[in-house]
């Protein structure tokens, strides 16, 4: 187990190094273009060269990469071109905002979708199974912008219960979080529900569940003690990987509701050509992706004794 964790950590570091190198090569091989982005389109070539010289850009590529990577590791990603503040000053609060969104979403979605999935998979082909499956396919197939429009029409303009934007200008407010969370929930819960359902249905058809039933155990114990743990091994991986999706995939929702999150920051930076922000955001996104993969691998191993003790 320890060996496995160490090995995984090692490969995680390696992936980060490779990705950051590729990232750096894409954005900063063409030095003049970097200077052009920083100084603006009307700067002259001499001005750009002076800027390059001042900022140490005339050093060899790998030296620059090492310095850049070192700074990034200390949290120094340079200055945002659009906002004129250090990137780290905007990055972390934005990340925290998206984190809050994700936390609220997960707090509702995981118990709900696991419960629904187990309920559906418990009796394959029953009414409850079909109802849940149809409903979850339906919600998953509506794109986020469509459901966001629909929900806004109903709850903001129709009933007037909720605010239409979630920019949190007057400080943190739960009310403003409701619609973004709801949209994400509608989109994503069906996926986990169906994963859980499939896994649960497979477990319920397995021979050890038959053994448990024919041992005369009460039905509740068969489900809670024998089925659940095995049924949750597969969805666990999927759930952890949702973290990754949330970070980069919530752009639509954040833009729609003007929520100041990570996705919105990345989109704005991309539109403006704010290369240092893009670099920082990409690095963070890759880190989250690799880390969630790591957690899901280790967690899977831990949950499954067949792997744990072999």
Partner 1 sequence: MNNQEQPVLDIKDLCISYYTRAGEIPAVVDFSLTVKPGETIGIVGESGCGKSTVAMAIMQHMGSNGGIKSGSIKFKGRDMTQMSDEELRQLRGSEVSMIYQEPFAALNPSLLLREQLMEVPLTHEDINREQAYERAREMLANVKLPDPDRIMNSYPHQLSGGQQQRVVIAMGLLSKPALLLLDEPTTALDVTVEAGIVKLIADISRKYGTSQIYISHNLGLILETCDRVFVMYSGEVVEEGTIDSLFTWPRHPYTHGLFGCIPLPTADKNAAPLKPIRGQLPLPHERPQGCYFGPRCDHFQAGRCDGDKVDIEHVTGSAEDHMVRCLRWQEIDHTKEAPGGEAKEAMELGGPVLEVNQMKKYYEVIDSSMKALISGDRVKYVKANEELNFNAREGETVAIVGESGCGKSTFAKVLMGLEGGTDGEIKHDGKDVSETLVRDRTDKQISSLQMVFQNPSDTLNPSQTIGGQISRVIKKFGVASDKDEVFNMVMKLLDTVKLPRDFYYRRPRQLSGGQKQRIGIARAFAGNPSTVIADEPVSALDVSVAAAVTELLMDIQRENKTTLLFISHDLSVVRYLSDRIVVMYLGHIMERGTTEEIFEPPYHPYTEALLSAVPIADPEVTKREILLEGNLPSVMNPPKGCPFCTRCPRRIGDICDNEMPPERQVTDTHRIKCHIPIEELQKVEPVIHVPAPEERLGKPEVPASTH
CB 226 within 8 A of CB 149: no
Which residues are within 8 A (CB) of 23 and not within 5 positions of it... i.e. 6 or more apart? 279, 282, 283, 286
For residues 21 and 16, what is the distance between their CA atoms, to the nearest angstrom?
8
For residues 245 and 135, what is the distance between their CA atoms, to the nearest angstrom?
22
Q: Which among 191, 105, 98 has a CA at the least distance from the CA of 140? A: 191
Among residues 41 and 216, whose Cβ is nearest to partner 1?
216
The only residue of 44, 84, 216, 271 in contact with partner 1, by rule CB under 8 A: 216
Output the smallest distance, CB 132 to partner 1, in A: 18
Output the smallest distance, CB 10 to partner 1, in A: 14
# binding residues, partner 1 (CB under 8 A)? 27
Among residues 209 and 281, whose Cβ is nearest to partner 1?
209
Q: Does 133 bind partner 1 (CB under 8 A)?
A: no
The only residue of 60, 157, 207, 271 in contact with partner 1, by rule CB under 8 A: 207
Candidate ranges 26-34, 90-98, 139-147, 221-229; the one touching partner 1 (CB under 8 A): 221-229
Q: Which among 104, 18, 27 has a CA at the least distance from the CA of 269? A: 27
The only residue of 154, 215, 224, 273 in contact with partner 1, by rule CB under 8 A: 215
Give the Cβ contact number of residue 210 at 10 Å: 12
CA of residue 30 relative to chain centroid, distance: 31
Q: Does 225 bind partner 1 (CB under 8 A)?
A: yes
Judged by the rule CB under 8 A, the positions of this chain that interact with partner 1 are 2-3, 125, 206-208, 210-218, 221, 225-226, 229-230, 233, 303-306, 309-310
């Amino acid at each position: 187990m320890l060996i496995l964790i160490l090995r995984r950590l090692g490969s995680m570091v390696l992936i980060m190094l490779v990705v950051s190198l590729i990232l750096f090569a894409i954005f900063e091989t063409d030095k003049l273009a970097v200077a052009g982005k920083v100084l603006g389109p009307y700067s002259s070539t001499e001005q750009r060269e002076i800027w390059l010289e001042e900022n140490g850009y005339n050093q060899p590529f790998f030296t620059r990469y090492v310095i850049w990577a070192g700074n990034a590791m200390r949290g120094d990603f340079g200055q945002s071109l659009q906002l004129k503040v250090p990137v780290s000053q905007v990055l972390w609060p934005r990340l925290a905002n998206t984190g809050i969104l994700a936390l609220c979403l997960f707090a509702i979605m995981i118990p709900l979708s696991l419960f629904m999935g187990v309920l559906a998979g418990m009796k394959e082909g029953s009414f409850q199974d079909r109802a849940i499956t149809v409903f979850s396919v339906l919600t998953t197939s509506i794109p986020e912008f469509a459901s966001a429009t629909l929900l806004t029409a109903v709850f903001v303009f129709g009933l007037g219960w909720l605010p239409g934007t979630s920019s949190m200008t007057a400080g943190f407010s739960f009310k403003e979080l409701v619609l973004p969370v709801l949209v994400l929930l509608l989109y994503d819960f069906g996926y986990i529900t169906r994963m859980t359902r499939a896994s649960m249905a497979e477990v319920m058809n397995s021979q050890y569940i038959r053994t448990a039933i024919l041992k005369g155990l009460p039905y509740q114990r068969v489900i809670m003690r024998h089925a659940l743990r095995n049924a949750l091994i597969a969805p666990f991986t999927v759930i952890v990987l949702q973290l990754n999706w949330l970070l980069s995939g919530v752009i639509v929702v954040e833009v729609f509701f003007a929520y100041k999150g990570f996705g919105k920051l990345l989109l704005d930076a991309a539109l403006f050509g704010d290369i240092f922000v893009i670099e920082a955001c990409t690095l963070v996104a890759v880190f989250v992706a690799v880390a969630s993969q790591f957690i899901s691998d280790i967690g899977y191993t831990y949950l499954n004794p067949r792997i744990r003790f072999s």
